[in-house]
Structure 1
């Protein structure tokens, strides 16, 4: 889906980017809300702690005392603050000012709210008052017993300020610890609200993106479907045009292109039909005069010994060219049957090895004239359901074509001969490969070699007297069997043609028992 659907990629990418943007904005808003809540809370608790300290100092000054009642003054100082703290939700610790580096403990006359862990006062704040009498505050973690007697830990703000007891003239430090439970709950509520809003916004963005991309992707999908139907031959298919936007103009242009293609294809089909009809008609019409010419040529050929030298040679040339002309007519008629779809198979259980040996024996004279050695490489019978006439014609075309292009040399890469015909089979397919060590094929010629009348070297003479249609007819014969006919070649390394047929008629081929590229492909002649 990710690779095939633009809509999926656009929606997913948009939602991913939106999630990143929402995350960044949400984090920024959360930080601003947190800082605002804490700043307001700190200002409030610092002011409240200053008021408590000022009232306590005024209360102590209004009550004269001596060294004997210093402990009483500490209690008198702390108890009202503790009572108000229990009612208003904060805790208090009264401790003597320590030396720098000393820690705060619950002993030594320290007064504090019941249930409070004195260690909740941050050491940094204690160290501050060991060096300076100025009020200060700090964030901390406050530990205090709840109503059930369990210790609770919560975020808090610790505010400290110093007072002086009239009884002994010593400075003591009041530490106020204000829990941040309300702020934490507010921040959690904001977090939940932001999360819910982010999820809802993400879904809305995804839905909107889906709907928007659908308006663009749907016409593209319709155009793809119409293009596929056009490619399948349904040339009358057109896109429905609605509106005047860019997509509508694209649909109009597409329809115009389809109409032009349809007209061109119909014109080409008509030209092709006329061409096939012309070839078929000419081939049939030439049969009658060719028969007459053949009869006259036979008479002249049989009487050539009674002629002078030049006339006798002319009779022989006439007979030879008439043979070639008849072969060309037969090939043209066969091609016209393929074009008309009138070709049919007469299948039988066939041993391809026997067919190959029969073809090699019949073409050995031609090979000997050129000094070419032919060899058959087959381990045993290879049977397949095929048309014997057509298969033999394919093999004959491949072998004679190899003879035309092979070279004779004593250092042949294949010890079997200059041309080797291999036959092999497996459970599903049977194959015949014809390997020669001639001029080979240039890049791209392995596909062009099956074109009608195509020749790699137009100046090269045809030793076998071919018509230029042999490989084209062979390819059609292979396709008629549901098989393959493929070519491989390399300049200077020769060529190999491979015919692959299904063992059972109508079965689909998946692989060939013989490789297309021979094992000795690197050998050079």
Structure 2
């Protein structure tokens, strides 16, 4: 004997659905992307959310796999038990029918139809499991079904197996009751008589189906509850770990903001407590080092200021003596005269250095103040350029002033603005390598900008950020014409900040350097949206200023 597995339904076919247009799909994609962006950002920003989500996903996967395995095992067990009982019942029914039908020798016997009806009714009265029987001759000439009003059509595959002399079973959904009901159909051939018969017994699987549905419902409820419980546990456990980390991040943020006394709370003696203790030790060391550096910085500034002030008195005396010597240098011999001139030159440089050190000390102590007035900036810039005419001619540098045709009036501290321009132009001449220097003035509704562009040696990568450091020089070995101290650009940057402005630099080796000064037109405002771009274009234009 052989058995057949349940047949799968054929897949329905039909006309292909029209393809949706690209436009709605693209619009829906953008909408979904826009709606999902906050969720994705929240997911990336929260370690606790990622851990809980991963735990839920893993536990849900395990619960689903476990549920499928348990449901399949229980279902197969129930169906296997029912099949064994049904097959044995069908065999007994076949034996009973074989005894009752042994007297009939022809399928065309007129009494055979009534005998089918009687015997099947007796079978239905004797069994408690089968709800319907179908009995027919192998050639199908005589058939009788009980109950006669039921649709007991079997599949062709099952009929072919039984017609071939094999006992076969198959699971089918039949309309034997008020609705569609799953049944186990057992087909048994009766072929030891003069007439070959086929018996089909129908056993309902309602109880098994209800048991499986109840099991699945229980698994879904239990699995969902277990997943939620695991999610809650994961959230609580993760919170125990994440909370100290968040506290450490918040404390580090406050430390970075200057609150050096901030510390983490140390609870217990576990790994997190040791982490908090190590963090507090690090914060204490940082606080000690920062305070030490602040003390050293204050001492250094105070030392610079004190030395600068204290040197002015002896320097004044030396200056008077040097002036007397310089005035009578014509009466000296050549070596003494040269020494007198060198003494006067170096005293001038020394006075410039002291003046710049005193200015730096005023910036450091916060005593620097602005004395602003509304002035036209172009004449000031032109006067500074004219003052460098001799040096420019000596260096072979041509200076070009590019200014608007209208007056550029801004509220500035004239001496400080003049010092900025003088430092920038002198620096450009010194590094121009006998190439032209362009000074550009532009303004807009809120700001005025001045750029000084040379086409000399330029700046190496990383030097644009250091060019405003004190005593820093891009090339200390160069032959310098102006005898600078390395403080001019640093003082210019502080003067720009004092005006609520900015002083920036950009350069490339071989292309030169551009210094860009941006100041607000009115005192108290801030410099934003500079009229000149910070770029090494040969034709720096203004964004919205007019010529």
Q: Same-fold call, TM > 0.5?
A: yes
The match for 1:97 is 138
The match for 1:414 is none
Query: Residue 428 of structure 1: CA displacement?
Result: 4.3
Query: Residue 259 of structure 1: CA displacement?
Result: 1.9
Partner Cα distance (1:383, 1:91) in 2 = 109
Asked whether 1:116 is paired with 2:155, we answer: no
Work out the number of aligned pairs and report it: 495
Partner Cα distance (2:45, 2:522) in 1 = 38
The match for 1:463 is 481
| Alignment RMSD | 2.6
Distance 1:233 1:109, change over 3 A: closer
TM-score after normalising by structure 2: 0.84
Asked whether 1:36 is paired with 2:77, we answer: yes
Structure 2: which 5+ runs fail to align? Answer: 1-41, 540-547
The match for 2:186 is 159
Do the aligned partners of 2:187 and 2:200 also contact (CA within 8 Å) in 1?
yes
Query: Residue 301 of structure 1: CA displacement?
Result: 2.7
Residues 59-74 of structure 1 aligned to structure 2 (within 5 Å)? 59-60=100-101, 67-74=109-116
**Residue deviations 1:327-379, cap 9 Å, x none?**
11111011101111222223444544444333222223221221101112233
Asked whether 1:285 is paired with 2:285, we answer: no
Q: Tell me the SS of whatever aligns to 1:118.
A: coil
Asked whether 1:141 is paired with 2:178, we answer: no
Q: Which range moved further: 30-39 or 384-393? A: 384-393
Partner Cα distance (2:180, 2:66) in 1 = 31
Distance 1:8 1:385, change over 3 A: farther
Q: Which range moved further: 258-267 or 467-476? A: 258-267
The match for 1:415 is none
Partner Cα distance (1:154, 1:506) in 2 = 88
Query: Residue 21 of structure 1: CA displacement?
Result: 1.9
Distance 1:463 1:145, change over 3 A: same
Residues 416-455 of structure 1 aligned to structure 2 (within 5 Å)? 418-455=436-473
The match for 2:543 is none
Distance 1:170 1:505, change over 3 A: farther
The match for 2:49 is 8
Asked whether 1:276 is paired with 2:301, we answer: yes
Do the aligned partners of 1:60 and 1:165 also contact (CA within 8 Å) in 2?
no
Do the aligned partners of 2:117 and 2:144 also contact (CA within 8 Å) in 1?
no
Do the aligned partners of 1:440 and 1:490 also contact (CA within 8 Å) in 2?
yes
Q: Which of 498, 510, 514 is equivalent to 1:496?
A: 514
Distance 1:351 1:175, change over 3 A: farther
Residues 169-184 of structure 1 aligned to structure 2 (within 5 Å)? 169-184=194-209
Distance 1:505 1:375, change over 3 A: same
Partner Cα distance (1:510, 1:20) in 2 = 56
Do the aligned partners of 1:115 and 1:145 also contact (CA within 8 Å) in 2?
no
The match for 1:196 is 221
Q: Tell me the SS of whatever aligns to 1:463.
A: coil
Residues 504-515 of structure 1 aligned to structure 2 (within 5 Å)? 504-508=522-526, 511-515=529-533
Distance 1:187 1:389, change over 3 A: farther
Do the aligned partners of 2:519 and 2:526 also contact (CA within 8 Å) in 1?
no
The match for 1:412 is none
Partner Cα distance (1:8, 1:360) in 2 = 64
Q: Tell me the SS of whatever aligns to 1:320.
A: helix
The match for 1:21 is 62
Query: Residue 282 of structure 1: CA displacement?
Result: 0.9
Distance 1:77 1:486, change over 3 A: same
TM-score after normalising by structure 1: 0.87
Asked whether 1:404 is paired with 2:430, we answer: yes
Partner Cα distance (1:124, 1:448) in 2 = 90
Query: Residue 468 of structure 1: CA displacement?
Result: 0.8
Asked whether 1:253 is paired with 2:278, we answer: yes
Q: Tell me the SS of whatever aligns to 1:376.
A: strand
Distance 1:18 1:390, change over 3 A: farther
The match for 1:481 is 499
Residues 351-366 of structure 1 aligned to structure 2 (within 5 Å)? 351-366=376-391
Do the aligned partners of 1:163 and 1:172 also contact (CA within 8 Å) in 2?
yes
Partner Cα distance (1:494, 1:302) in 2 = 42
